[in-house]
Amino acid sequence: MTALTLSTAAAPGLRADAIVIGVGKGGKGPVVAPGADAVDKAYDGRLAGVLETLGASGAEGEITKLPAPAGFKAPLVLAVGLGAEPKDGDAYDAEALRRAAGVAARALTGAKKAAFALPLADAADAGAIAEGALLGAYSFDAYKDNGKDAKGKGPLGEVALLGGKPRDKEYKAAVERALAVTEELNRARDLINTPPNDLDPEAFAAVAQTAAKEHGIKVEVLDEKALEKGGYGGILGVGAGSAAGPRLVKLSYTHADATKHLAFVGKGITYDSGGISLKPAGHNETMKCDMSGAAAVFAAVVAAARLGLEVNVTGWLALAENMPSGSATRPGDVLRMYSGKTVEVLNTDAEGRLVLADALWAASAEKPDAIVDVATLTGAMVLALGSRTFGVMANDDAFRAAIVDAAEEVGEPSWPMPLPEHLRKGMDSPTADIANMGERMGGGLVAGLFLREFVGEGITWAHLDIAGPAFNEAGPFGYTPKGGTGSAVRTLVRLAELTAAGDLG
């Protein structure tokens, strides 16, 4: 785990493996960003020229390494591109700082300590840089020798934020928030990256139980017997083909002064083979990530507890493994859901909506002020929005807009999506109340319409389809690693903060 400190030390005298500075992309070449004054002075004010000679432009994510000037205790200066220089003297925005810090932290894998001298004007900047550095330093090496990467290097050991104010309440609060959110987000990444032979529904539930005990969160786990007794036909139907039984985990964080209640519901398919509607080769190798929604919900509830937010937050983790076998649900089977509705299963690979339906109805029974579900639900959403943006659907336009705004604020790309009523007819079934499939075109919207059927009357609800950004199969970028990303965690935490502050609903 990467350590984090606020430091008032001057860059030349700080013992570290590297000094990280920011470089903007100006109209006539690279521009040294605020925070690097001491380094620029040591280069007689010619640092921008030196960087340009080395090929630097200040483009976002660009890394340039150069020897530290004489008199510096750190041997290396690492210049990271911040992107376009702000106009009219404006400051770099929080997301630019997050991404730059993440790139720098990843580039310094193997280093014991780095001093970050990025633009830091206030506590919000400190929080953004801390968040980016801690997320960028992430590495999943649990299954490698000595917990190190392929080059034998561990993650950056310590980040010192130069220009920070260790005794200032706002700075301390910003850093403490960054630590809580990033540690839980990185725990979600660990869960997503864990091989499915080591993370079945029971194992996931055990992780949640341990964390709940540590942070004063009430936890309830329904196993197969309890699910059968309760009539959770959706979760049981999806898990019927696996030797690893399903679970429904309820995490309840409460605050004595809270007046609002949020419910988060996460899809937790710990491995999705597609069931009898088996996925073809090339589409099942990364399906350990199909529990990313549940991981995000779990992380967000724990983060809310660690931050002591004045809002009640309940997390529902709908956990199952979708496997083919003689006991598996077949296409054509009809399931009776927890709500009492019947669903004709036309495709067993449309299983996420079945487990979510039961969890949504269970969450609705408590009459929360709002429900947000998170799921790697449809390939159609990836086709629509690509691999970095999640879709947001809701039964309330204002709530949908608030979620999109919250996501943008924390740096998670999202896009509002509609719920066209004409697509509902495609799920009509001659046998059951509804089918789990409808029209092929607009499949992500069809899935949202299906989920809406299982939300209690009068309850504000939104659905986040994170199928695109939940698992990064390409190379790392910004503070986002390859593999599990922890998508939606920061959006959910921000929603909880806004609700606690009375700024949402």
The set of residues, in sequence order, having a beta carbon less than 8 Å from that of 398 and lying 6+ positions away, is none
Residue 353 annotated as catalytic: yes
List b or e across 404-443, with b for residues whose CB sees 16 or more CB atoms inside 10 angstroms.
Answer: bebbeebbbbbeebebeeebbeebebeebbbbbbbeeebb
Distance CA 76, CA 66 (A): 6
- Give the Cα-Cα-Cα angle 57, 63, 64 (nearest 5 degrees): 75
Radius of gyration of the chain (CA): 24
Distance CA 310, CA 501 (A): 8
112: its two tokens: 């014991």
Distance CA 505, CA 490 (A): 19
Which residues, listed in sequence order, are joined to residue 81 by a DSSP beta bridge? 23
456: its two tokens: 């209690």
β 434-435/113-117 pair status: unpaired
β 312-322/261-272 pair status: parallel
Could you tell me if 479 and 99 are in contact, meaning their C-beta atoms sit under 8 angstroms apart?
A: yes
Distance CA 128, CA 371 (A): 28
DSSP state of 90: P
Residue 279 annotated as catalytic: yes
- Closest among 378, 379, 505, 386 to 449, alpha carbons compared: 378
Q: Is 238 helix (H, G, I), strand (E, B) or coil?
A: helix
Q: Which of 353, 400, 490, 494 is catalytic?
A: 353
Distance CA 15, CA 264 (A): 44
Q: Is 258 helix (H, G, I), strand (E, B) or coil?
A: coil
Which residues, listed in sequence order, are joined to residue 373 by a DSSP beta bridge? 265, 463
19: its two tokens: 């000094």
Q: Which of 153, 172, 279, 341 is catalytic?
A: 279
Give the H or E element holding residue 342.
strand 342-344
257: its two tokens: 């002064």
Give the H or E element holding residue 374.
strand 370-375
Could you tell me if 499 and 505 are in contact, meaning their C-beta atoms sit under 8 angstroms apart?
A: yes
469: its two tokens: 């950004």
Going through 163-280 in order, the beta strands assigned E by DSSP cover 218-222, 247-253, 261-272
| Residues with a known catalytic role | 279, 353
